[in-house]
Structure 1
Amino acid sequence: MRLAFAGTPAAAVPTLRALLESPRHEVVAVITRPPAPAGRGRHTVASPVAELATDAGIAVLTPRRPSEPEFLADLSALAVDCCPVVAYGALLPPAALAVARHGWVNLHFSLLPAWRGAAPVQHALLRGDEVTGASTFLIEAGLDTGPVYGVVTETIRSDDTAGTLLERLSLSGAGLMAATMDGIADGSLVAVPQSTDGVSIAPKIGVDDARVGWEAPGRHIDRLIRACTPAPGAWTTFRDERIKLGPVRLRGTNELAPGQLGVRRSGVAVGTASIDVELGSVQPPGKRPMPGADWARGARIPDGERLV
C-alpha cells in the first residue's frame, strides 16, 4: 500500500522505521509537527520523525494545522491507501480522515478501551496496573474510540518509568503496526468495535500534577514519580526551592513523619503517610541530577528537615 505516516516524537520512530523496511508498503510522505524549540538552548529543531524521514529521502509535510487547505491538497495528491499514525500530536479534521482509502490507523499505547487519551502509559503506572499494551485502531471522530485491529501486551515491571515502558511499547507496537498494515492490505484483518466496559481516560499529566504530596502513601508516591519520569518530572520543594526527583525505593519502615528527611551515610529517607521511601536522584535548581546522599551532603541537611 501507499502510506503517509503521521508521527512526531521518538516513540514514533520505530514504527516509521519498520514501515520503511517493509517490502509490502511504500511510505510516500511523512506528516509531523513543525520544528519546535528544544533542549537547554531552546534551539529550533525538527522532530525525530522528520529527521528519520529526511535521512530516508521521504517528503516531509509539517502543517501547523492539518485542516490547512494547502496541506489537504498536497495529501490528496499523494493518493495514499492508508495513513498509519503514532503520537502525531494534532487533531485530524474529517477532511483529512477522508483522504486515505483505508483511513487513518493509530497506534495507541494502551489496551483499549482502557486509558483513552494523551497519557496512557503514565496513567497505567499511576494506577498500578500490572499489564498494559498497545492497540491499533481506525481513527474516527471520538477520542480513541474507533474499532480495533490488533493488540500486543506488555508486563509492567516494578521499576518501570514512563520512559522505559514507552520504549518497550514503541518497539513491540512497531511490529503490531506493520502487521496491521499487512492485514489491511490483504483483507485478512477486520476492525472490531471496542467494548463499552472498562473505559478509562488518561488526560495529559502537567507540571502541577507531578508535585509529590508526602501525605500520600509511599506506594502512591513511588508510582507517581515513575509515571512522571522523564516528563514532566516529579518535584517537591526544599528550603523554598523546587527540586526534581527521580524514582524512589520503598524501604519497608515507617519511622518518619510525612516529608521528614532521615539522612544516613547510605542514603536519604523520606516519610510518607505509610512506609518511608529512599530518595534516588535529586536535581536542585540549575544543577545536574545527583544521588540523594550526595545532595544531602552538599546541602548539609540535618535530620528532621522536611520536603514540602
Structure 2
Amino acid sequence: MPLRLIFMGTPEFAVPTLLELVAHGHQIAAVYTRAAKPAGRGMKLQMSPVEQEARRLGIAVVTPSTLKTPEALGELRACEADAAVVVAYGMILPQAVLDVPRLGCFNLHASLLPRWRGAAPINRAIMAGDSETGVMAMMMDAGLDTGDIAMAERVTITDAMTAADLHDALAPLGADLMVRAIGALERGMLQFRPQGGEGVTYAAKIDKAETRIDWNRPARDVLRHIHGLSPFPGAWCEMTLEGAAQRVKILRGEIAGGSGTPGELLDDRLTVACRQGALRILQLQRSGKQPMKAEEFLRGTPIRATARLG
C-alpha cells in the first residue's frame, strides 16, 4: 500500500518529485521547506516553489529555522511517516532527524555520486566540462551526500547546454527515479550499493568572485563557464557601451572560428577571441534589462569590431 511520507524540498527542481509522489498515491503527511523570503522590487515575502505547490495541494507546510530542537523532533515524530523524501531542501538533517522515519530518509541528488557532492552539482558539472551527469536516489546518512545509492539515471551534457537546460532535463527524470525508488521501498525490494571511494569531488556554492569571464582561457572552457552559470548568477564581462564600461551578463554562446587577442571582438556578430579559438555570443543581458538574443542587442547597440571585452 502507498507510504506515508514527509517531503523536504525548496526550489523549482523539487516540485516535479512532490507532484509525482502525490500522483502515485503516496500520502504526504507534511512538506518541509525553507521559509518565505523577501524578493522582487517590492521585497514582498515570497514562498518557495515547493511551498506554493504544497499549499495548492492542501498539504500541511512546515518552515522551521532549525531541526535541532526537541520541538522540531517532536513535530517530525508526530507525522508518523514511513519515510522522508528530500530534494534540494537546503538544510542539513542531523542524525536524530534521519532516525525518525521508520524506513529512512531518501535524497534525490543531481549528479553521479561520488562526483559533485554538495550544493551546486548542476553548475559544477557543466563548468568542469563533464560529458555526462545524472540523478541518484540514495539513502541519507550524516555525511554530505555520502549515503548508499539505490537507483540512478544518466544524462549527456552537450556544449550547448546551460545550467537551466540541464536543470530542466534532470528535474522530471529525478522525479520519475524517486517515485520508482519509493515504489520499490514500498514493496520491500529497494536495494543499495555503497558509493565508491574514488572520484570524489565537491560542488561548492557558486562564489561571486568566479563569475567574471576570463577570455584568456580556451574557447570551450569559456563557453562551459558561461553556460554553467546561466541564467543565475550569470557570467559577466565589461563592454564599452555609450562611452562607458558596463557590466553585461553573457547567457549563451557557441564555439566559432577565428583567433585574436583574448577579449577582442573579431566581427560585428559578437564573436570574441579567446586564448585558443573564439566564441560567438548568442544571448546576453545588460544590467537592469531583460535577456536578449545577440541580433536584438546589436540592432540597438552597434558594436565595432576590434573593440575589447574586459
Provide the TM-score with structure 1 as the length reference.
0.94
* Residue equivalent to 2:212: 211
* Residue equivalent to 2:264: 260
Cα deviation code 1:123-181 (max 9, x no counterpart): 11112222211001111111110101110111223311111111111101101111111
1:247 and 1:280 in contact (8 A); partners too: yes
Shift, 1:307, TM fit: 1.1
Give the SS at the match of 1:261.
coil
User: Does 10-19 or 192-201 show the bigger shift?
Assistant: 192-201
Matched, 1:246 2:246: no
* Residue equivalent to 1:5: 7
In structure 1, distance between residues paired with 2:295 and 2:263 = 16
In structure 2, distance between residues paired with 1:193 and 1:37 = 41
In structure 1, distance between residues paired with 2:67 and 2:219 = 44
* Residue equivalent to 2:131: 130
In structure 2, distance between residues paired with 1:133 and 1:241 = 37
Letter in 2 for 1:260: E
1:15 and 1:171 in contact (8 A); partners too: yes
In structure 2, distance between residues paired with 1:303 and 1:252 = 15
User: Does 138-147 or 153-162 show the bigger shift?
Assistant: 153-162
Letter in 2 for 1:99: V
2:159 and 2:224 in contact (8 A); partners too: no
Give the SS at the match of 1:175.
helix
Q: Which runs of 5+ in 2 are unaligned?
A: none
Give the SS at the match of 2:146.
coil
In the TM superposition, 1:259-278 aligns within 5 A as: 259-264=263-268, 267-278=269-280
* Residue equivalent to 1:61: 62
1:8 and 1:87 in contact (8 A); partners too: yes
Give the SS at the match of 1:247.
strand
2:262 and 2:274 in contact (8 A); partners too: yes
1:263 and 1:296 in contact (8 A); partners too: no
Matched, 1:83 2:87: no
Provide the TM-score with structure 2 as the length reference.
0.93
Q: 1:16 aligns with which of 18, 41, 46?
A: 18
Q: CA RMSD in A?
A: 1.5
2:258 and 2:266 in contact (8 A); partners too: no
In structure 1, distance between residues paired with 2:23 and 2:263 = 51
Shift, 1:262, TM fit: 3.0
Cα deviation code 1:175-205 (max 9, x no counterpart): 1111111111221112211111221211112
Cα deviation code 1:230-278 (max 9, x no counterpart): 1111111224321111111111221x210112342xx211111011111
* Residue equivalent to 1:306: 308
Cα deviation code 1:261-301 (max 9, x no counterpart): 2342xx21111101111112222222222333443454443
Across the two proteins, how many residue pairs are aligned to each other?
304
Letter in 1 for 2:303: I
In structure 1, distance between residues paired with 2:296 and 2:190 = 55
In the TM superposition, 1:90-239 aligns within 5 A as: 90-239=91-240
In structure 2, distance between residues paired with 1:72 and 1:219 = 48
2:118 and 2:144 in contact (8 A); partners too: yes
1:132 and 1:156 in contact (8 A); partners too: yes
1:206 and 1:232 in contact (8 A); partners too: no
1:12 and 1:87 in contact (8 A); partners too: yes
1:114 and 1:200 in contact (8 A); partners too: yes
In structure 2, distance between residues paired with 1:179 and 1:77 = 26
